Structure 1
Amino acid sequence: MSEQTLNMETAWRQPGSQPSLPEVHRSLNIPKTGSWIRKILAFIGPGYLVAVGYMDPGNWATDLAGGSMFGYKLLAVIMLSNLMAILLQALSAKFGIVTGRDLAQACRDHYSKPVAICLWVLAELMIAACDLAEVIGSAIALNLLFGIPLLYGVLITAFDVLLILLLQNKGFRYIESIVIALIVTIGICFGVELFLSKPNVKEVLSGFVPTPEIVTNREMLYIAIGILGATVMPHNLYLHTSIVQTRKFEQNSAGKREAIRFATIDSTVALLFALFINAAILILSASTFHKAGMTDVAEIGDAYNLLSPMLGTTAASILFAVALLASGQNSTLTGTLAGQIIMEGFLNIRLKPWLRRLITRLIAIIPAVIVTAVAGEKGTANLLILSQVILSLQLSFAVIPLVQFTGDKRKMGEFANPLWLSILAWTVAIVIVALNVYLLFNTIFG
């Protein structure tokens, strides 16, 4: 064992901790010979599970509002937020591959017990908020497509837990395949929507160029911060550090370096799909609502009801709702998986997967049922906004440890972030934290 490897081992207080998600840990073989295409195909999957969090129902409201109010001008903000996400997810993949730990395990190991417990409580609140957005999004989609009352739709989502268990028992590849299929479904739906809405291509392209108006226009700045705050999801950082370890790559310097390269390609390409989906929602809103002078369309239900008459076909609204349902179901798969990673990592305990996921889902369903029963559709919409505020508050408690750990040579050895990457990562972390605090402040007091 090299001196560098020994240094990395002694940087952790608990070198013998159990692997992350032990039921699927290193369960997928990586071909040792053959073309690079075979190898990259073996690594494809985790990035798409991560990308799901960047197109979940919680993002839809900010994208719809941005498009209806300001046309294509905030496309630059969507692109910027995705570039930040690409960097953070690349760091997450590298951390999991190099250390063999997920972010929750690393926090438990590195920080004092009181700090680790506080981080765990905050992370559990984050998972509940994340699952809440998915529950509400799926319930809204079921209501729009089939007329199922929101209250019943919320209750139906409890059975998603059974689907996750069935898929994971068959192998982790099944979960990845379902997620990719649902992402493709969302992409096709919005591809058709864009064709029907006929956006101005020149204006779309100009929207990806940042303008000073984004900062000088107070209302535009607020929506821009909302887009940034809703895009980078903290549970994805925990999730990615764990699921990259499902690949059985060589446990040496060359093997880890290759795994980092392919995992980064996987997550980057997947997040470019997320960029397309988020941009498509904003473009659809801009080319349909803003163009018609309707600048106050921000709720998912309103958009659904207006799309068919404005685009002249019922298919427009149906495709919109199908994409929403696919988004909610996809986020369910990854959100409950992240919940298991967080509880097991922070507390170093093992619950049966069905019990852990049922707890996660019940924590989200109970407030959703109460609010839906008492306040109806309007209350559900407000609860969706609240879930995004909670996620924004939690984000810094995931980003800062990740950037700190990946820049520590004692923990990462030769794979520690070089100076330029550390500066870039800390800059992104500070910007995200500052914008989320600003968004939180304005949501509460504004």
Structure 2
Amino acid sequence: MSSKDGEEEEEESTKESKHLLPSPTSTSSSSSDDKEEAPFESREKIVIIDADSNDGFDTVPPFSWKKLWLFTGPGFLMSIAFLDPGNLEGDLQAGAIAGYSLLWLLLWATVMGLLIQMLSARVGVVTGRNLAELCREEYPNWARLVLWFMAELALIGADIQEVIGSAIAIQILSNGLLPLWAGVIITASDCFVFLFMESYGMRKLEAAFAVLIATMAVSFALMFVDTKPSGKQLLLGVLVPRLGSKTIRQAVGVVGCVIMPHNVFLHSALVQSRKIDPSKKGRVQEALNYYSIESSVALFISFIINLFVTTVFAKGFYGTKQANSIGLVNAGQYLEEKYGGGLLPILYIWGIGLLAAGQSSTITGTYAGQFIMGGFLGLRLKKWLRALITRSFAIVPTIIVALVFNTSEASLDILNEWLNVLQSMQIPFALIPLLTLVAKEEVMGTFKIGPVLERLAWTVAALVILINGYLLLDFFVSEVRGLLFVFVVCTGTAAFALNGN
């Protein structure tokens, strides 16, 4: 090959990379308003140090532990959605009603969630834009507004569950002195804590979340050690698939709560917190490789924490008369009655873990709200103002909920079921755009997913949507006794699927 041909080929590849990612020049020349709109300003991004900056365009640098450490962070923030109070309630109910028999499903649901989140990260790294921004660019205005509305609804529903979970934990740790509404107001202040941490840099924020995840891990591990679940039953539950007719609803809940709509949007934005060279395919592929490793580790840790919770309640309440009545509100009381006190009573261990789960998930919810609003609407707002607006969307209805349902555990459980239904309705409006765009060559260029991975991703998405559809159908048939709403949701989902293709 002549040098002239080589130069032409390199020039053509450079043009292609610029199509995939915005060039540094265009970023630096943007206006201050554009910088306010961007998820991360250039000065906020973590620089990935290269040992050799003269490598080829397509060359992926060798593995480096130091680089893996620099890329570590976004996956752990993403994993918080797998550990929020809604998931913990699903875990404890699965353990109490189904025993150890659904642990295998928890494992494979986490694997399916990992696949979806890795595709979300892929979109963010390759295009340099988050999923909400891409939806604004690729879909017509009516579809963009509907998708934004659905994403906001999902976020509000998730945030109500998370804030209520934190408020319950505060009520436990204060010995009931603080009512539910007071816990909600205290939890609402995490918006300002988040803004304070973010002002000190992304690594400080990621370190704070690492502490919260470690708090959950230690708390639920202590519960696991205290209750001494059966190791044999645990191993059989993870390795041997079992599904009984009486545990179908719990099985649906295990899978249904893994994919959180707002988390799909969040991860595609978080990965842009690292500064990579968009002019080199090798650097883009390197980032994808490291993000795949750290996301896998993060979700493995989340699986272990969820496993701790499920097995604790399987050991303590499976086959008992309390099994069908246990929920997030009364779980701590049941644990205390079953296992008593000690140096640190199990009630408070549960409360500490639940508080860490609620606080971390509400802060990531605030973070996701910024990206969703800014991406879909293209608002040029300062980050603190955008965070305050998105926080208010969720906190106001949550305070109303806390005041209305403060004295009734049964009412809170019914409310939680309605919120799970709300989350289930939003799943297609996040998954369909993601899978459509990640396989689109005009958006992803050479980094679009291949046909095998595309079929696998659509199979997983279809399975998750069908499972959540079953939850919807079951709930509305038993509670509402009408199918019109389900028909409307299915029609809307089909319309978006056709539009995306």
Alignment TM-score, normalising by the size of structure 1: 0.94
Of 433, 444, 469, the match for 1:401:
433
Any unmatched runs of 5+ in structure 2? Answer: 1-9, 53-62, 479-501
- Aligned pair in 2 of structure 1 residues 195, 414: CA closer, same or farther (>3 Å)? same
Alignment TM-score, normalising by the size of structure 2: 0.84
Residues 49, 334 of structure 1: 8 Å contact kept:
yes
Partner of 2:485: none
Tell me if 1:117 matches 2:135: no
In 1: Cα distance, 2:16 partner to 2:200 partner: 39
In 1: Cα distance, 2:48 partner to 2:169 partner: 38
Residues 133, 387 of structure 1: 8 Å contact kept:
yes
Moved more, 235-244 or 379-388: 379-388
Residues 27, 246 of structure 1: 8 Å contact kept:
yes
**Aligned partner of 1:250: which letter?**
D
Partner of 2:159: 131
- Secondary structure of 1:300 counterpart: coil
Q: What CA RMSD, in Å, does the superposition of the two structures yield over aligned residues?
A: 2.2
CA shift for structure 1 position 48 = 0.5
1:164-189 Cα offsets, whole Å, 9 max, x none, are: 11011111111111111100110001
Residues 229, 311 of structure 2: 8 Å contact kept:
yes
**Aligned partner of 1:125: which letter?**
L
Tell me if 1:429 matches 2:461: yes
Residues 392, 437 of structure 1: 8 Å contact kept:
yes
- Secondary structure of 1:350 counterpart: coil
In 2: Cα distance, 1:292 partner to 1:400 partner: 41
Tell me if 1:64 matches 2:82: no
CA shift for structure 1 position 195 = 0.5
Residues 131, 361 of structure 1: 8 Å contact kept:
no
Residues 154, 262 of structure 2: 8 Å contact kept:
yes
Residues 58, 385 of structure 1: 8 Å contact kept:
no
1:407-441 Cα offsets, whole Å, 9 max, x none, are: 12222122111121111101001111111111112
Partner of 1:144: 172
Mapping of residues 70-109 of structure 1, within 5 Å = 70-109=98-137
CA shift for structure 1 position 7 = 6.0
Partner of 1:275: 303
Partner of 1:248: 275
Moved more, 19-28 or 183-192: 19-28
In 1: Cα distance, 2:472 partner to 2:459 partner: 20
- Aligned pair in 2 of structure 1 residues 417, 72: CA closer, same or farther (>3 Å)? same
Tell me if 1:229 matches 2:256: yes
In 2: Cα distance, 1:71 partner to 1:272 partner: 21
In 2: Cα distance, 1:250 partner to 1:306 partner: 54
Of 352, 363, 369, the match for 2:393:
363
Any unmatched runs of 5+ in structure 1? Answer: none
**Aligned partner of 2:453: which letter?**
L
Moved more, 29-38 or 134-143: 29-38
In 1: Cα distance, 2:184 partner to 2:272 partner: 33
- Secondary structure of 1:231 counterpart: coil
Of 48, 58, 64, the match for 1:30:
48
1:310-341 Cα offsets, whole Å, 9 max, x none, are: 22325211111100000011001210110000
Tell me if 1:344 matches 2:374: yes
Of 73, 86, 90, the match for 1:45:
73
CA shift for structure 1 position 267 = 0.8
- Aligned pair in 2 of structure 1 residues 408, 5: CA closer, same or farther (>3 Å)? farther
In 2: Cα distance, 1:135 partner to 1:438 partner: 27
Aligned length: 442
Moved more, 305-314 or 326-335: 305-314
In 1: Cα distance, 2:39 partner to 2:365 partner: 14
**Aligned partner of 1:138: which letter?**
S
Residues 89, 240 of structure 1: 8 Å contact kept:
yes
Tell me if 1:391 matches 2:409: no
Moved more, 73-82 or 300-309: 300-309
Residues 77, 210 of structure 1: 8 Å contact kept:
no
Of 262, 267, 284, the match for 2:290:
262
- Aligned pair in 2 of structure 1 residues 227, 24: CA closer, same or farther (>3 Å)? farther
Tell me if 1:329 matches 2:347: no
Residues 44, 202 of structure 2: 8 Å contact kept:
no
- Aligned pair in 2 of structure 1 residues 190, 112: CA closer, same or farther (>3 Å)? same
1:188-214 Cα offsets, whole Å, 9 max, x none, are: 011111111111111001111353x52
**Aligned partner of 1:412: which letter?**
M
**Aligned partner of 2:40: which letter?**
P
- Aligned pair in 2 of structure 1 residues 52, 409: CA closer, same or farther (>3 Å)? same
- Aligned pair in 2 of structure 1 residues 229, 365: CA closer, same or farther (>3 Å)? same
CA shift for structure 1 position 6 = 4.9
1:352-387 Cα offsets, whole Å, 9 max, x none, are: 222222222222222222232233243333333322
Of 208, 213, 228, the match for 2:238:
208
- Secondary structure of 2:330 counterpart: helix
Of 324, 327, 335, the match for 1:299:
327
CA shift for structure 1 position 350 = 2.2
Partner of 1:238: 265
Residues 396, 433 of structure 1: 8 Å contact kept:
yes
Partner of 1:180: 210
Partner of 2:82: 54
